[in-house]
Amino acid sequence: MSSGIVPLPAAPAVRPREDRRLADRIALSAASGRGARVRTEDVRAWLAERRRAHVFHVERIPFAELGEWRFEQGTGNLVHRSGRFFTVEGMHVVELDGPSGDGPYREWQQPVVRQPEVGILGILAKEFDGVLHFLMQAKMEPGNANLLQLSPTVQATRSNYTGAHRGTDVKLIAHFFRPDPDRVVVDVLQSEQGSWFYRKTNRNMIVETVDDVPELDDFRWLTLGQIAELLHEDDVVNMNARTVLSCLPYRDTSPGALLSDAQLLSWFTGERSRHDVCAERVPLADVRGWKRGAEAIEHEDGRYFKVVAVSVRAGNREVVSWDQPLVEPVGLGTAAFLVREIDGVPHVLVHARAEGGFLDTVELAPTVQCTPGNYTHLPPSDRPPFLDAVLDAPPSHILYQAVLSEEGGRFLNARSRYLVVEADDAPLDPPPAYTWVTPGQLTALTRHGHYVNVEARTLLACLNAAMARPRGEQRHGGGHR
State the number of CA atoms in the 13 A half-sphere of 273 facing the CB. 6
Q: Is 256 in the site for a second copy (CB under 8 A)?
A: yes
Helix (H, G, I), strand (E, B) or coil at 352: strand
- Candidates 261, 322, 332, 391; binder of a second copy (CB under 8 A) is 261
Neighbour-count burial for 225-263, b at 16+ CB within 10 Å, e otherwise: bbbbbbbbbbbbbbbbbbbbbbbbbbebeeeebbbeeee
- Candidates 23, 173, 342, 391; binder of a second copy (CB under 8 A) is 342
Nearest CB to a second copy, comparing residues 267 and 375 = 267
Q: Is 378 in the site for a second copy (CB under 8 A)?
A: no
- Run of H or E residues at 188: strand 184-191
Annotated binding-site residue? 130: no
Annotated binding-site residue? 84: no
Q: How far is the CB of 308 from a second copy (least distance, A)?
A: 29
Q: How far is the CB of 270 from a second copy (least distance, A)?
A: 7
In the shown chain, the binding pattern of residues 389 to 428 toward a second copy, with x for contact by CB under 8 A and - for none, equals: ---------------------------------------x
Nearest CB to a second copy, comparing residues 52 and 178 = 178
- Run of H or E residues at 205: strand 201-208
Q: Is 343 in the site for a second copy (CB under 8 A)?
A: yes
Calculate the CA 360 to chain-centre distance: 18
What is the C-alpha separation between 422 and 425, in angstroms, rounded?
A: 9
What is the C-alpha separation between 471 and 32, in angstroms, rounded?
A: 15
Which residues within the stretch 445-474 sit at the binding site for a second copy (CB under 8 A)? 447-448
Q: How far is the CB of 267 from a second copy (least distance, A)?
A: 7
Annotated binding-site residue? 195: yes
Q: Is 385 in the site for a second copy (CB under 8 A)?
A: no
Q: How far is the CB of 286 from a second copy (least distance, A)?
A: 18
Q: Is 159 in the site for a second copy (CB under 8 A)?
A: no
Q: Is 270 in the site for a second copy (CB under 8 A)?
A: yes
Nearest CB to a second copy, comparing residues 345 and 454 = 345
Instruction: Please name every residue paired with 237 in a beta bridge, in sequence order, or none if there are none.
Output: 150
Annotated binding-site residue? 100: no
Q: Is 82 in the site for a second copy (CB under 8 A)?
A: no
Annotated binding-site residue? 69: yes
What is the C-alpha separation between 84 and 116, in angstroms, rounded?
A: 10
What is the C-alpha separation between 164 and 107, in angstroms, rounded?
A: 37
- Smallest CA-to-CA distance from 404 within 396, 394, 392, 413 is with 413
Annotated binding-site residue? 159: yes
- Run of H or E residues at 27: helix 20-31
Annotated binding-site residue? 168: no
How would you classify residue 480: left for phi > 0, otherwise alpha for psi between -120 and 50, otherwise beta?
left
Q: Is 255 in the site for a second copy (CB under 8 A)?
A: yes
Which residues within the stretch 180-239 sit at the binding site for a second copy (CB under 8 A)? 181-182, 184-185, 187-189, 203
- Candidates 4, 7, 12, 470; binder of a second copy (CB under 8 A) is 12
What is the C-alpha separation between 88 and 196, in angstroms, rounded?
A: 10
Annotated binding-site residue? 202: no
Q: How far is the CB of 196 from a second copy (least distance, A)?
A: 20
Phi, psi values for residue 26, rounded to 5°: -65, -45
What is the C-alpha separation between 316 and 333, in angstroms, rounded?
A: 33
- Candidates 148, 312, 335, 345; binder of a second copy (CB under 8 A) is 345
State the CB neighbour count (10 A cutoff) for residue 347: 24
In angstroms, how far is the first alpha carbon of the chain from the final one?
62
Instruction: Please name every residue paired with 113 in a beta bridge, in sequence order, or none if there are none.
Output: 88, 197
With contacts defined by CB under 8 A, name the span among 236-244, 249-257, 315-323, 348-356 that binds a second copy. Answer: 249-257
Q: Is 20 in the site for a second copy (CB under 8 A)?
A: no
Neighbour-count burial for 125-139, b at 16+ CB within 10 Å, e otherwise: bbeeeebbbbbbbbb
Q: How many residues of this chain interact with a second copy, rule: CB under 8 A?
A: 54
Annotated binding-site residue? 374: yes
Q: How far is the CB of 158 from a second copy (least distance, A)?
A: 8
Q: How far is the CB of 457 from a second copy (least distance, A)?
A: 16
- Run of H or E residues at 440: helix 439-445
Calculate the CA 274 to chain-centre distance: 27
What is the C-alpha separation between 422 and 393, in angstroms, rounded?
A: 8
Binding site feature residues for dTDP-4-dehydro-6-deoxy-alpha-D-glucose: 69, 157-161, 195, 240, 290, 353, 369-371, 374-375, 407-410
Binding site feature residues: 69, 157-161, 195, 240, 290, 353, 369-371, 374-375, 407-410
Q: Which residues bind a second copy (CB under 8 A)?
A: 11-19, 116-118, 178-179, 181-182, 184-185, 187-189, 203, 249, 252, 254-263, 265-267, 269-270, 272-273, 276, 278, 342-345, 359-360, 428, 440-441, 447-448
